[in-house]
Amino acid sequence: MFVPIVAIVGRPNVGKSSLMNCLMHRKVSIVEPTPGVTRDRVSCMCEVEGVHFELVDTGGYGIKDHDDLTEHVERQISYAIEQATRILFVVDVMDGIVPLDLKVATLLRPYQDRVTLIANKADDNAKELQAVEFMRLGFGEPMITSALHNRGRRDLLEKVAELIGEGGEVPPDPIMKVAVIGRQNTGKSTFINSIAGEEHVIVSEVPGTTRDAIDLRFEVDGRAFIAIDTAGVKKRSKWSGSIEYYGYNRVEKSIVRADVCVLFIDSTKDITSVDKKLARKVADENKPCVLVINKWDLAHDKASTDDFGDYLTKTIPEVDYAPVVFTSAKDSHNTDAVIDTAWSLFKQARTRVPTGQLNKVLAEALSGRGPSPKRGSKPPRIYYATQVSISPPTIVLFVNHPSLIKNTYKRYLVNNLQAHLPFEEVPIRVLFRARRGRDTPDVSSGKWKEEIAEEPDQVEESM
């Protein structure tokens, strides 16, 4: 499948990431005055008047990265240029032509027929007049933009669509979004490159190499999905500035929008408070999760898989429902199993259970252990259950009075339903609601309706 790529290229701090966000009309890339914030290729799909393309933000060319990653950043820029159908060469009207602009121009000269010059930060008409000097770079008359004020946005998008034409195919909608999360240096980016079969993101021993949440489209066995590579998380007390703040904020948002979370654990180190914090966030959002125990080639002689599994259960019980996969991303060992497991969880979370099967399991749970009354209250009674939603599977139980159900009994029912329904490895939500009337079926009678009309947002949550 051919999807045109439009790469945004230029020296540091000319507004490439701001232009990316402007064109997409949302915050895709982190925008900071600090040079070198963007390191990897950050991409997303864009559609203009029926023309589909992938828009790619790149790091600043020529930046002297303080973590000595300049070579890595520039290699990522080169990959983007080589693959691009169109290249947006961004310059800064306020600064005029500077030596680094000339170096970028030299870099792009062999691709001149693909380059569109963008004079950014032209916030007013006076600045627009200054853009004429950039014609000296040899790429024709620049298009005028101000990413900060959305100036020239529509004209630029239409120009890109016109230049691309009708050559691109409509990409299939991804059927699964996988957020790859974890603390710093657990091997997340190595894993992404392993399943991609190429260097999609920078891999380095330097902590904090990945700073943004990067969406990457893949196709495995005919199934399209998005892997979200996220910044490595460290303790809040060790954050050195806004870059870490925005990075963690993107991690949280990635968890929320993901269908499945893949939590990377470094098998050579102890579980930390950061691991526990991420696990709690995943559990709070009711997300299916794969626990990936990476670097197992360095630790397998110290513990068995069973021992490590017991260790995980004790240290991060919030996601005790999550299956565990032991990998060595560096050697691509067992990385395919991570995607296969994520796909299995994705299907589980989207499963709907017939009402008859659900109430049969509920009846067995009630016969094994009925709800006990609170002191001084009438006996609680559970009449009937139905599934009202998926992702996460959401089950409503109709009772005489929701307040009569003890928390311990709620946990018993959740565990029982999860164990005996096809949701054993994904979290479920169980909600209690007062019965609607005397016609409400009673599970003890062996009869129940096949469906209910209520939508999930009409259900009273009492957990």
Which CATH number characterizes residue 411's domain?
3.30.300.20
Residue in this structure with the two tokens 């983007």, named with its chain if needed: 80
Residue 286 token pair: 């009711």
Q: Dihedrals φ, ψ of 46, to 5°? A: -135, 145
Residues 375, 287: one domain?
Answer: no
- Total count of domains within the chain: 3
Q: How far apart are CA 342 and CA 320, in angstroms?
A: 16
What is the pLDDT tens value at each position of the chain, 463 positions in all?
567 889 999 998 898 888 988 998 777 655 444 444 454 567 778 888 788 888 888 888 876 655 455 676 777 888 889 889 999 999 999 999 999 999 999 999 999 999 999 999 998 777 788 888 999 999 999 999 998 888 999 999 999 988 887 655 666 665 789 999 998 888 888 888 887 766 554 344 444 444 456 777 777 777 778 888 787 676 666 555 555 666 677 788 889 989 999 999 999 999 999 999 999 999 999 999 999 999 998 886 667 888 899 999 999 999 999 999 999 988 889 988 999 999 999 999 999 999 999 999 999 999 989 888 777 678 888 998 999 999 999 999 999 888 888 899 999 999 999 999 999 999 999 999 987 665 556 665 555 444 433 434 444 343 3
Question: What residues are paired with 44 via a beta bridge?
Answer: 55
> Is-contact 281 255, C-beta < 8 A?
yes
Distance CA 250, CA 231 (A): 8
pTM greater than 0.75: no
C-alpha angle 395-323-354 in degrees, rounded to nearest 5: 25
Q: Are residues 184 and 296 in the same domain?
A: yes
- The answer on 22 and 144 residing in a single domain is yes
Question: Coil, helix or strand for 155?
Answer: helix
Counting runs of H as helices and runs of E as strands, what totals does the chain give? 12, 15
* Residue 169 belongs to a domain: no
How far is the C-alpha of 100 from the C-alpha of 351, rounded, in Å?
A: 55
CB of 439 closer than 8 Å to CB of 408 = no
384: containing domain: 355-458
Residues 6+ apart with CB under 8 A from 25: none
Amino acid identity at 387? Q
Q: Please, which residues bridge with residue 430 across strands?
A: 395
Q: Is residue 307, in this structure, part of any structural domain at all?
A: yes
Residues 267, 192, single domain; the answer is yes
User: Could you tell me if residue 463 is inside a domain?
Assistant: no
On whether the CB atoms of residues 38 and 87 are closer than 8 A, the answer is: no
- CB-based contact 417:423 (threshold 8 Å): yes
Residues 80 and 135 in one domain: yes
367 occurs within a structural domain:
yes
Q: Return the H-helix or E-strand segment holding 278.
A: helix 273-284
Query: What does the chain come to in residues?
Result: 463
